[in-house]
A = this chain, B = another copy of it.
Amino acid sequence: MSNSVERWDIFEVKLNGPSEGNPFVDVQVAARFSYKHREVVVDGFYDGDGVYKVRFMPDTVGEWRYETVSNVPALNGKTGSFTCTEPSAGNHGPVHVHNTYHFAYADGAPHISVGTTCYVWNHQGDELEELTLETLRSAPFNKMRMCIFPKHYRFNANEPPHFAYERKADGSWDFKRFNPEFWRHLEKRVGQLRDLGIEADLILFHPYDRWGFADMGAENDDFYLRYAVARLASYRNVWWSMANEYDLMESKTMADWDRFFRVVQESDPYQHLRSIHNCRGFYDHNKPWVTHQSVQHSDLEAVRDWRETYRKPVVVDECKYEGNIDMGWGNISAQEMVHRFWQGTVGGGYVGHGETYLHPEDILWWAKGGKLHGESPERIAFLRKLLEENAPHGLDPLPPVGKWGWVRRDRARSGDSYYLFYFGIAQPGRFEFELPEDKKYKLDIIDPWGMTITPVEGTYSGQFMLDNLPSKPYHAVQARMVE
């Protein structure tokens, strides 16, 4: 047991206790961590072979103490202490909501969310999983949507190497006995994502199931949630997604989804981000336990409307995927994917990537990871860099204007310092811009596909017509304040 851990890393208390009976059910273990007069109570979990663990993510530099609490004497009243040190470079802590519509790390560093989806990359065996990690190393993504449970669906016929549960003698699952090996593997992958600077958007339930995990019953669902949170919440890069396509899970009611949110909310000492992903209709993101909107939708022009409706960050995790499969949600072009990223961005939201190119061995990035084959990631990297340099705390769309209250869906800004106009399918040869009268701006013409930034001569203020624009679709203009 190390006596020192850096801020937002994991301090783990490991204890030996009983292994007879069913320790998952019979034994409760927790620890009270304290810093000066502040206390944080953290649930522990059984990790098999008589080993119990309590994991803690300290958020404050200094001396921490702890004392364990258990219904089993061997695990009760154990005390200790450790030093929480300054975080190392690249460790900014967990991501939280910032300025209503945006995100930031706990240390205040900005977080421009650029997600991708590999639903069950962590169920593919080491070879492919390591290839996925290698791909991610140079990919532009800082969030990964991934399922805890395996997936049964088209292109997803293979059996996973490990399961979350032990089987009973009759071969059926014992939903009261977890398989620690499975969970340790999951944690290893979550930790590897963290080390790559990637948030793990963990999908707790999903409908694509042939094993029975989509329909375990309410008691087992809650039991599972508490175990998952106890094991994983100390990973600073965890986000909780109650479901992928919650509305396709016929075994669950809206009351179930509400309860899942509350179970996670009450169990998680760190209040990681929480959301839920839809197929057809949105869950009511106004509910207080929802921290941000996780959206499946194809109309990226509506992002600004959803912002206003729910007053929370909009993450369009699924707006169709770049690919060429025979299903409409998985065959948009790279050009269209890039377009949607830009549309969502000027709407003041965050768009997610996915890729579904037909593959001879059914290794589609969207489900299994592997390699990226598409042309959008490079352009997404270009956009991410542009935003991080010019609008690190996010973009906000401009308010409606004029006597009809026209909503301009082509422009956003970061305060007065930066304006971004994205013309999408429009191809103006000239365009009338509106900037603050009392500031001066340098303009650039941006080609999001060609990844070029071409300066426009002069400085600009107020309302003006800019001629000699490219007259081609999918271009943008940025205005950066110079004084």
Contacts and interface: CB of A to CB of B under 8 A. Distances in A.
Contacts of A20: none
A87 B454 CA distance: 62
Given A326-B465, A465-B326, A331 B472 contact: no
Contact of A431 (B326, B425, B465, B471): B326
A427 B332 contact: yes
A332 B429 contact: no
Nearest to A423: B331
Taking the full assembly, how many copies of this chain does it contain?
Answer: 2
A472 B357 CA distance: 12
A429 to B, nearest CB: 4
A83 interface: no
A430 B358 contact: yes
A458 interface: no
Interface string A397-441: 000000010000010000000000001011111111000000000
A331 B427 contact: yes
A428 B473 contact: no
Contacts of A325: 428-430
Contacts of A430: 324-326, 358
Nearest to A470: B324
B473 A336 contact: yes
A425 B336 contact: yes
Contacts of A425: 332-333, 336
Residue of A410, A425, A472 most packed against chain B (CB within 10 A) = A425
A471 B373 CA distance: 13
Given A333-B472, A333-B473, A432 B326 contact: yes
A327 B416 CA distance: 24
A324 B430 CA distance: 7
Interface string A110-125: 0000000000000000
A171 interface: no
A90 interface: no
B358 A324 contact: no
Interface string A304-326: 00000000000000000001111
A159 B244 CA distance: 61
A389 B111 CA distance: 56
Contact of A429 (B280, B358, B472): B358
A335 interface: yes
Nearest to A410: B328
A423 B428 CA distance: 26
A456 B168 CA distance: 53
A426 B334 CA distance: 10
A324 B428 CA distance: 4
A400 to B, nearest CB: 13
A324 B471 contact: yes
Interface in A330-365: 331-333, 335-336, 357-358
Contacts of A426: 328, 331-332
A305 to B, nearest CB: 15
A189 B237 CA distance: 70
Contacts of A280: 404
A343 to B, nearest CB: 13
Contacts of A469: 324
Nearest to A280: B404
Nearest to A357: B429
Contacts of A336: 425, 473
Contacts of A331: 423, 426-429
Contacts of A410: 328
Contacts of A432: 326
A332 B429 CA distance: 11
A154 to B, nearest CB: 11
Contacts of A431: 326
Contacts of A357: 429
9 contacts: A324-B429, A325-B428, A326-B430, A326-B431, A326-B432, A331-B423, A331-B426, A332-B425, A336-B473
Given A324-B430, A326-B428, 9 more contacts: A323-B427, A324-B429, A325-B428, A328-B410, A328-B426, A331-B426, A331-B428, A331-B429, A357-B429
What are the nearest 5 A-B pairs in CB distance? A324-B429, A324-B471, A331-B426, A333-B473, A326-B431
